[in-house]
Structure 1
Amino acid sequence: MRHTFLLLLTCFHFAVYAQEEHEKLEGNLNSSANEVAPVLSADGQTLYFVRQYHPQNVGGVTDPGDIWYSDLQADGQWGVAIHGGKTINNRFYNGVIGFADERTAYVHGHYLDRNKQPTTQGVSTTSGQKNQWNTPQAVKIPYFYTKSKHQSGSLHASSQIMLTALQSYDSRGAEDLYVLFRQNDGSWSEPKNIGNDINTEYQEMTPFLAPDGKTLFFASNGYEGFGSRDIFMSVRLDESWRSWSNPKNLGASVNTPGTELYYNIPKNGDFAYLSSTQNSDGMADIVKVRINPEEEMLAEADSTLDIPEEEPIVITPSVVETFTEPEPEVIEEVPEEEPETLMATIQGKVLNEKAQQPLNAELVVRSVRNDTTLVETIQTDAQGTFSVSLPLNDNYELSIVAEGFIRQRDKLLLAETTEASTLERNYQLTPIEVGSTVNLENVLFDRGTADMLPGSGERLDEVVEFLGENPEVAIEVGGHTDNRGRADLNIKLSSQRAEAVREYLIQQGANAEQITAKGYGGTQPLSSNAIEEERRKNRRVTFMIVRK
């Protein structure tokens, strides 16, 4: 019966958010620059958005994004876009997350005097409107951290829930979606990963929680779609915020061969707003699509949402007696037993990838939250096996090192584990010798281009480190595609991607003389090209050792 109910709930919500084909905004809002991240004001009369790489931004044409706005005109068109001013804009990325009320906005990032780059990441709040704002003040959010340059998120209509995209401690790959809750004292909880029902090893970004508090819209390139990144929809199935219905592509009426991001439904609005590169005036434009809510509850914020509250620290004051009592009987106090620290045992083997023989390797465990070495060295035995026990209240990075082999790293996501357990982890290290090839997972590109997606740098930074530690080594960066399309164009695209990776490595400090680049197109598949899951394995970037 429960499964039947969830199925009906899912179908109901998907039917509610029916939409027609999106259309361009009438007026002068869009330009030849990149317009993204639309957020409508509470009264529906002003549309705030991010304009990227525009000469009138604070940082000029290299500025990754300033907040602009446009007013709705009497004829229904949008007026000329106006810069939001230097109080809320600097030479870094600036964007509106959402409005807590008519004059209070949450914005991306932290702000410092004299346009200095912030040393911490996160969210700020400011009051004002249009181009008149007070100086944004940092919002303290514990463990708010992302490795990605991309920033996106939204504030729920209730102002009590925030969704954000982070490549953080426990992310599954590139950006994952996280939820934060406003506490009774006004503070915000730490970001909570919403789980594997939504998040993939690829990018999930630009999340938006509909006013009903259950229907989630987000962009992803981790599911089958029409273009580079598509908009998907999923329904929250319980109060854990980790159980979601199977994500559903919004279809050809919203998604195109281009890129769709930032799907946003204003309070009591008739239209959803999003950004799209399809048929745009320049890079991306803001477009709209009519929505047809079938129930009044979907047009207003749900005030009955279950917002988890962090337990406060309660201090009970001692009672001061003002009269004399007989001396009490002495009762020996029995100290309370400290709660047992739950542990996970990580065990496995380290092998030579080529010879499939045990390796004498060292493993170093680092606490991700505290960025400290927790266990200095774990040594494998003669059979290449190891074992280590770790507390469950943290996430960890494991480095596997053996002389003459390429270092390998792994993430141990234990913070949300609630029961002691034993996990098996087996590793195969690639020998540093001519001909050895390494697949650079999570180095991803916008579909059909040589533009690397955010999050690709983490894996490539490890290659820079490897080349610095081994100056005698030279590598060839290889680009690979699947076999769809013309072979000559695949060779050209894969060559461009390989060269883009080479340029990144050099920019990060690698010696240019150690790196060459070559595109192989679809000539070296890892598996069949019959289905998308197999084709995805063939679209990859590798490096091969060509000199030692």
Structure 2
Amino acid sequence: MIKSILLSSLLLVSGSLISQSLDIFDKVNSIYDEQNPVLSPDGRTLYFTRANHPENVGGEADPGDIWYSLIQPDGLWSSPQNATALNNSNWNGVLGFVGGSDVIYLYNHYSQSGGTTKSFGISRSIKTTGGWSIPENYTIPYFTTSSKIHGGYITSDASTAVFSLESYGTKGGEDIYVCFNKGNGNWSEPKNIGSTINTKFQEFSPSLSDDTKTLYFATNGTGTGTDFYKTERLDESWINWSDPLPLILLNSDGREMGLRLYSPMYLYTSTTDSDGYGDIKAFIDPNLDDKIEKPKDSVEVVDPVVIKEKKPVFDSRYITLYGNTFNSENKNAVETKITLKSMDGESIASVNSHMGSYALKIEAIGNYRVRVDAPGYVSHQETLELQSDEIKSFEMNFYLQPIHVGATVNLKDVLFKQSRAEFLESSFAELNLVVDFMKDNPKVEIRLEGHTDNRGVEKYNIKLSKERVEAVKDYLVKKGISKKRISGKGYGGSKPIADNENPETRILNRRVEFTIVKN
């Protein structure tokens, strides 16, 4: 996707630099300082950091907000907008994307009010229908910097991140450090990558190849200005590197920073032909495919968004499942655990929602059960059937019932054969959810209530609804729930919740519910 979009937007090149007659970033670059350009994985959105703009969250004194631009049909990039939800009055920048275009990693920490924070680290935000979620902070031990120049990069599997910091053990100005994801939101402390790269001067804007063996960075420690270099990692220590080599096709008399590789293009910033501040530039190299590493054959994300399928996360067969989780009574966001299971009950992946928002990468074609759990709430489960690999994302929102006396839960997936009290095979997943709920809350007692539509003879409807209530009770008891905790009654068609005259809504009246009578 990125390659085709870039090729269409970069048709006209003159020599090594983009032709001045077709400046695809003409609406993006300004009299302000543009740095840290990052493309979304689908290639349609360009994110960058703009300093001291009056529309920044902190106004003209703000050292940098994240802005974004969209690719247009003519191959040019649109006038940018401030990505307000991703900004505070600190320096803000994009580290990269994990698992697709809907999970973004950010440099720095965020406060819930959007103001300045004194802590350092990284953050993660998830794209929802309402925009980007409030960034979730991740703490990196001993992560700090006294520099006003920031930069970093995270790999697409969230396993490794590199940063430019003036911190503990810095050899001069800014040095490059590496951190490793230890899982469950935990990161290793920054490790200085050694004197082969880090000088007594400044090293900036590091990025890595997909296999993490090649490092690209900028430095002013070679006496030629601030230029780009590349080096190869020689072992697993991360302190032994080959002698850095200059990227002579990119380097100019100006100041180059913020290099990212998007085959067949280098994306970066330079002060060449600008107003003294950084402008976003692009360089086409038709042989770039041969110069950078290809994605790994398998990727396992060691991030709260857990992907257990060992397949490339950018495979077109994958989509992003995302959404929000709410309290069904007051519609407030609820922190939950979302578990994806196969239809036979095998766990595939899981993720914890943050501020009620979640995102999860899954295969685009398949049948799943999505279970949502939260302390103090009745667990919820729904079936998800995906039949097309043409969509890139799918939204599922969940409303969880708080556990309290009087709360009623509709067991909408507990279904019966027509006019009988025998379960359909698809009913057992939700019945087992009720079993789990009763076992997890041993003080809870429930009253089962059976209902039918209003067709037929009422006394037969009442008898049928009672039999179905008994069938549910018998199943729970066989699964180890004390019968003393379960009462029940059949109401026939006397308590409809939908129009009985409409065949499409009439089915909603044929239901079994339970009400919590003791907690």
Structure 1 length normalisation: TM-score? 0.49
SS at match of 1:283: coil
Name the CA shift for 1:72/1:282 in 2 (closer, same or farther; >3 Å).
farther
Is 2:177 aligned against 1:178?
Answer: yes
2:104 maps to: 105
What CA distance in whole angstroms lies between the structure 2 residues aligned with 1:279 and 1:287?
Answer: 10
Structure-1 residue corresponding to 2:257: 261
The one-character-per-residue Cα deviations of 1:111-133 (angstroms, maximum 9, x if unpaired) are: 11444421211111111179921
Structure 2 residue identity aligned to 1:180: C
Unaligned runs of 5+ in 1: 1-18, 310-548
Runs of 4+ in 1 over 6 A off after TM superposition: 304-309
Q: Is the 8 A contact 2:264 2:289 kept in 1?
A: no
Q: Is the 8 A contact 1:105 1:127 kept in 2?
A: yes
Q: Is the 8 A contact 2:143 2:189 kept in 1?
A: yes
User: 2:236 matched to which residue of 1?
Assistant: 239
1:293–1:299: 8 Å Cα contact kept in structure 2?
A: no
CA distance in 2: counterparts of 1:49 and 1:292, whole angstroms? 25
Cα distance change, pair 52–290 in 1 and its aligned pair in 2 (3 A): same
- Within the candidate set 261, 269, 281, 1:287 is matched to 281
Contact 1:181 1:308 in 2 (8 A): no
* Displacement of 1:224: 3.1
CA drift at 1:26: 4.1
Q: Is the 8 A contact 2:206 2:258 kept in 1?
A: yes
Cα separation, 2, equivalents of 1:131 and 1:280: 36
Cα distance, 1:139 vs. partner? 0.5
Say which of 239, 249, 255 aligns to 2:246: 249
Q: Which amino acid aligns with 1:145?
A: T
3-state SS of the aligned residue for 1:182? strand
Deviation string 1:21-54 (CA, Å, 9 cap, x unpaired) is 3335344111111111001001011110001111
Larger Rg over CA atoms: 2
Alpha-carbon distance between aligned partners in 1 of 2:301 and 2:234, rounded to the nearest angstrom: 15
The answer on whether the counterparts of 1:69 and 1:84 sit within 8 Å (CA) in structure 2 is yes
CA displacement 1:407-456 (0-9 Å, x = unmatched) = xxxxxxxxxxxxxxxxxxxxxxxxxxxxxxxxxxxxxxxxxxxxxxxxxx
Residue 158 of structure 1 deviates from its aligned partner by 3.2
Corresponding residue of 2:17:
22
**What do the CA deviations read for 1:247-281 (whole angstroms, capped 9, x no partner)?**
11111x31111110001113xx3211101011015
Aligned to 2:116: 117
Structure 1: how far apart are the matches of 2:301 and 2:172?
A: 27
Cα 1:133/1:308, change in 2 over 3 Å? closer
- 1:66-77 to 2 correspondence within 5 Å? 66-77=65-76
CA distance in structure 1 between the aligned counterparts of 2:130 and 2:65, rounded to whole angstroms: 12
Q: What's the counterpart of residue 57 of structure 2?
A: 58
Cα distance in 2 for residues equivalent to 1:129 and 1:300: 30
Measured against aligned partners, the alpha-carbon deviations of 1:303-328 in whole angstroms (never above 9, x if no partner) come to 5799999xxxxxxxxxxxxxxxxxxx
Cross-structure match for 2:386: none
Going from structure 1 to structure 2, the CA distance change for 1:89 and 1:29 (only over 3 Å counts) comes to same
Note if 1:230 corresponds to 2:227: yes
CA distance in 2: counterparts of 1:286 and 1:240, whole angstroms:
34
1:173-223: CA deviation from partner (whole Å, max 9, x where unpaired): 111101111124442211111111110111011001122421111010111
CA distance in 1, matches of 2:290, 2:269: 27
What 5-or-longer segments of structure 2 have no aligned partner?
Answer: 1-13, 304-519
| Contact 1:51/1:67 (8 A) holds in 2 | yes
Distance 1:38 1:180 in 2: 21
Q: Which residue of 2 aligns with 1:452?
A: none
User: Which of 293, 301, 324 is the aligned partner of 2:295?
Assistant: 301
Change in CA separation of 1:303 and 1:176 when aligned onto 2, cut-off 3 Å: farther
Q: Which AA in structure 2 matches 1:21?
A: S
8 Å Cα contact 1:158-1:303 kept in structure 2: no
- Residue in 2 aligned with 1:273? 267
**For the structure 1 residues 64 and 190, does the alpha-carbon distance in structure 2 shift closer, same or farther, using more than 3 Å as the test?**
same
1:188 equivalenced with 2:184 (yes/no): no
With over 3 angstroms needed to count, the CA separation of the structure-2 counterparts of 1:22 and 1:183, relative to structure 1, is: farther
Question: In 2 relative to 1, CA 57–306 (structure 1 residues): closer, same or farther, beyond 3 Å?
Answer: closer
Change (3 A) 1:115 1:131: same
Q: Deviations over 1:66-99 (max 9, x none)?
A: 10001111111111111111x2112221111111
| Amino acid paired to 1:279 | D
Q: Please show how residues 464-483 of structure 1 align to structure 2 within 5 Å.
A: none
1:131 and 1:173 map into 2 onto residues whose CA distance is 44
Percent of counterpart pairs with the same letter?
A: 38
Distance 1:81 1:216 in 2: 30
Show the counterpart of 2:77: 78
**Cα RMSD (Å):** 2.7
Q: TM-score, normalised by structure 2?
A: 0.51
